[in-house]
Structure 1
Amino acid sequence: MKKYFIQKSPFVVPTTDGKLIEEHHGKVATNNSAISIAHMIAPPKWSEPYQTPEFDEYTYIISGKKQFIIDGETVILEAGQSIKIEKNTRVQYSNPFDEPCEYIAICNPAFDFEKVNRE
């Protein structure tokens, strides 16, 4: 048995807001509830509702910019920057800018729709 797994066909999460979500590892893609890793592209002017996830979320920006409203504080990350947002923190993710934002999101434990607590 191999001691590694190369993900060649990530699970593409169906969306209605134009955002690309490719889960490479996680609950759906690899039946891994410990951690999730997703490649995402948020289109210009995209936003999500506020949420208070029951997992830590790390974001690394590949290109573009992404806005975070974290407990009322606005933070903008640019390419090459990353952030960790601790679980049970109220946050809103958005891309209010004129260019797409490409990024990697890592959730620990794995992203779970039942534990994201969207408003």
Structure 2
Amino acid sequence: MKKYFIQNNPFVVPTTDGKLIEEHHGLATTKNKELSIAHMIAPPGWSEPFQTPEFDEYTYIIKGKKQFIIENEKIILEAGQSIKIEKNTRVQYSNPFDEACEYIAICTPSFSMDLVHREEK
């Protein structure tokens, strides 16, 4: 029995906002409830509603910039920077910039629509 798993076929989450979400590990791909890892590309002008998730979320920016509004504080991260946002924190993610933002998101426990608690726009 192998003690490793190489993910060559991530689950591409269907979206209607132009954002690419490739879940490599997590509920949709490996049934992992403890941790999810996703590669994402947010197009220029993209944004999500505010949310208050029941998971910690780590974000590492590969390319471009991403804006975070965390408890009413605006933060902008650029390539090479990362952030941890603790669970039960009200946050909004967006890319109001002119170029796409490529990043990795890690959630503990795994991302789940049941745990994200998005607000109505």
User: Which residue identity lines up with residue 25 of structure 2 in the other structure?
Assistant: H
User: Which residue identity lines up with residue 59 of structure 2 in the other structure?
Assistant: T
- The aligned counterpart of 1:51 is 51
1:1-119 equivalences under 5 Å are: 1-119=1-119
Distance 2:104 2:112 in 1: 16
Distance 1:86 1:117 in 2: 14
Tell me the percent identity: 80
SS at match of 1:115: helix
User: Which residue identity lines up with residue 26 of structure 1 in the other structure?
Assistant: G
* Greater than 3 Å deviation, 4+ residue runs: none
**How many residues are paired up?**
119
What TM-score do you get using the length of structure 2 for normalisation? 0.98
SS at match of 2:114: helix
Structure 1 residues without counterparts, runs of 5 or longer: none
RMSD of aligned residue pairs (Cα, Å):
0.2
